[in-house]
Amino acid sequence: MSMENILYLGGPNIASEIYNKEYANARICGAEKWRKPLAKFLRQPHFIVWDNSDLVTHEVMGGLKNVYAIGAGMVAALTNESATSKSVYFAHCTSEMIFITHLLAEEPEKLAGPLLADTYVTLLKGRNAWYGQMLAKGELSLDMGDSISGKGMIQGVSAVGAFYELLSQPSLNVPHPEENKPVAPVELCPILKTLYKILIRREQSSQAILKALRDETLNDPRERIEIAQTHAFYKPSLLGQP
């Protein structure tokens, strides 16, 4: 399918709250010939839709926010809603999101403004964050699957597997900042690795997400972002592009 015929609609909002006519923003991304007229068509007094050309960044971030929202829910439940723990998690997960996006988009939009707000609200109150909380509290089990009655599909579960497998390919090796050797990109994403072990491999319990926050290397999350921004990381082959 041509990229010209693909559109993305999303933004800093919760679907149920839009339904209740709470004021919200969203973005529609894709080819100009489609996104501009559709933005006007969708716009309502309580639902403002902007148009944007960066389809890939929004699609990637749209998938990643669901991945990391599950971990955010786990952290919230395991720390009794500790604001400090949730903030530490937010710093690490957003640095991983930026790192991953630089592999998939040539000039990705910065994680700021509506993109950052979209991540924030999903980590705060999306169905994926709820799912992470319920798993950590023992009120749901992985054996119940990722389609939950009353909530629908928990998109983040399959996305964890997809991103992990994508970033594990040995052909995508990137330089390790300390060991001076090439490693698969997923090796620089400890939270994604941990979520994969919890949700897909089922090797660890939800408690493992807290250990992933305790960065034994003492590296500032900013360093992961700088690696992505200062190296030729973009891999168009990941999305089947020449």
Alpha-carbon distance 169 to 190, whole Å?
16
State how far the Cα of 68 lies from the Cα of 196, in Å rounded to an integer. 11
Verify whether residue 36 is a known catalytic residue.
no
Three-class DSSP category at 47: strand
> Would you say 187 and 177 are in contact if contact means Cβ atoms under 8 Å apart?
no
32: its two tokens:
């100009």
Q: In the structure encoding, which two tokens stand for residue 207, read together?
A: 């408690």
Calculate the alpha carbon distances from 34 to 29, 52, 189, 241 in Å.
Answer: 9, 11, 35, 22
Question: Cα–Cα distance between 94 and 103 in angstroms, integer?
Answer: 15
Question: Which stretches within the chain are classed as H helix?
Answer: 15-19, 32-42, 55-78, 83-104, 113-125, 127-137, 155-167, 190-195, 208-213, 221-230
CA distances from 63 to 46, 118, 169, 204 (A): 25, 11, 19, 23
Choose among 114, 112, 126: nearest CA to 15: 126
From 21, 33, 36, 65, active-site residue: 65
* Residues taking part in catalysis: 65
